[in-house]
Amino acid sequence: MDSKKWDKIATGVLYFIAGVMILILAFLLIFILWNGLPHVSWHFLTSPAKSFQSGGGIGIQLFNSFYLLILSMLISIPISIGAGIYLSEYAKKNWLTNLVRTSIDILSSLPSIVVGLFGFLVFSISAGLGFSILSGALALTVFNLPLLTRNVEESLRSISGSQREAGLALGLSKWETVLKIIIPEALPGIITGMILGAGRVFGEAAALIYTAGQSAPPLDFTNWNPFYIASPLNPLRPAETLAVHIWKINSEGIMPDASQVSAGASAVLIIAVLIFNFGARYVGNHIYRKMTGTK
């Protein structure tokens, strides 16, 4: 066989593998949405869960998921941007920098259950935070920070060196060049990575079981004082998230309509993650078109 025939065979195999992966993904999405969407309603999305009777919802769990996500991203984003800028623009090429990058890669591949146990020992016990939103947010920061840092670094490294030289030639300092030229050019990639990272932690469960807790106390949505114990914004209260709720109701078996609630919650979780992923592509492309002037 000549090289052209081998090329066609290899291309066909790759197309077949890609098609199988797409079909598996489509089957999973359709199966989850088909079984879950009939159980999703406004009452389901806003009402609290019920343990020993049917008819409960996921209102508190859904709020906890978004609150934990926002709090963890508020902690992660400044640290990851600072670390990414340092590694890309200021760090010298030596064994210490290579060790830092290797450590970041290792941390990004850690199982989430390990991160959860680390958060339980360090944040919940040693720091005295107990099962709380703050413990969960810090654990999610440890879980997501390596990925965000690498994303920022790679986005900055993708900018041509001529851009840096042009800034320095105009009399700008290194920091001004990074701040006014490099970061704006890398912004679409950075924002896309941040939104994808947000979707990644939104569906996380294992890291939160040991840190944020497995209970969702009733919340007083009329009092938003973060120091009030039943306030939705109280960072020291336990908070069962949507992903943890799905795991919990299927493992305990004390909810009469556990299968229906689990299916509906899974559909909501899948839709939220899809929105994060498609939103990341849309925002990144929109910013890129706006910066380059293309339509």
What domains can you pick out in the chain, each with its CATH number? 40-292 (1.10.3720.10)
pLDDT over 80 (residue 287): no
pLDDT digits (tens, 9 = 90+) for 58-83: 889 999 999 999 999 999 999 999 99
Looking at residues 227-256, what average pLDDT do you find? 86
Q: Taking the CB of residue 214, how many other CB atoms lie within 10 A of it?
A: 18
Q: Nearest Cα to 140, choosing from 197, 64, 78?
A: 197
pLDDT digits (tens, 9 = 90+) for 243-280: 998 888 888 777 888 888 889 999 999 998 888 888 77
And the tokens for 196?
């994808």
**Quick one: pLDDT at residue 186?**
87
Confidence (pTM)? 0.86
Q: Nearest Cα to 85, choosing from 166, 196, 159?
A: 159
**Residue 174 neighbours by CB under 8 Å, 6+ apart:** 89, 90, 168
C-alpha pair distances (Å), 197 with each of 64, 105, 107, 246, 279:
18, 15, 15, 21, 12
For the chain, the distance separating the N- and C-terminal CA atoms, rounded to the nearest angstrom, is: 46
And the tokens for 278?
């498609």
For residue 95, name the pLDDT band (cuts at 50, 70, 90). confident
**Quick one: pLDDT at residue 187?**
85
For residue 196, name the pLDDT band (cuts at 50, 70, 90). confident
DSSP per residue, 120-148: IIIIIIISS--SSHHHHHHHHHHHHHHHH
Average pLDDT, the chain: 86
Per the model's pLDDT, the better-predicted residue between 172 and 28 turns out to be: 28
Percent with pLDDT over 90 in the chain: 26
Place of tokens 């199982």: 111
- Residue 115, judged by CB atoms within 10 A of its CB (0-12, 13-18, 19+), counts as buried
Per the model's pLDDT, the better-predicted residue between 288 and 136 turns out to be: 136
For residue 50, name the pLDDT band (cuts at 50, 70, 90). confident
pLDDT digits (tens, 9 = 90+) for 3-39: 778 888 888 889 999 999 999 999 999 999 999 999 8
pLDDT over 80 (residue 168): no
DSSP per residue, 35-99: HHGGG--HHHHHSPP-SSSS----HHHHHHHHHHHHHHHHHHHHHHHHHHHIIIII--SSHHHHH
DSSP per residue, 215-265: ------TT---TTSTT-TT-TTS----HHHHHHHHHHH---TTHHHHHHHH
Looking at residues 203-209, what average pLDDT do you find? 87
Q: Is 218 in contact with 48 (CB distance < 8 Å)?
A: yes
**Quick one: pLDDT at residue 135?**
93
| CA distance linking residue 204 with residue 65, whole number of Å | 9
pLDDT over 90 (residue 105): no
**Quick one: pLDDT at residue 67?**
92
pLDDT digits (tens, 9 = 90+) for 130-163: 899 999 999 999 988 999 999 999 988 888 878 8
DSSP state at residue 214 = S
And the tokens for 108?
């990004």
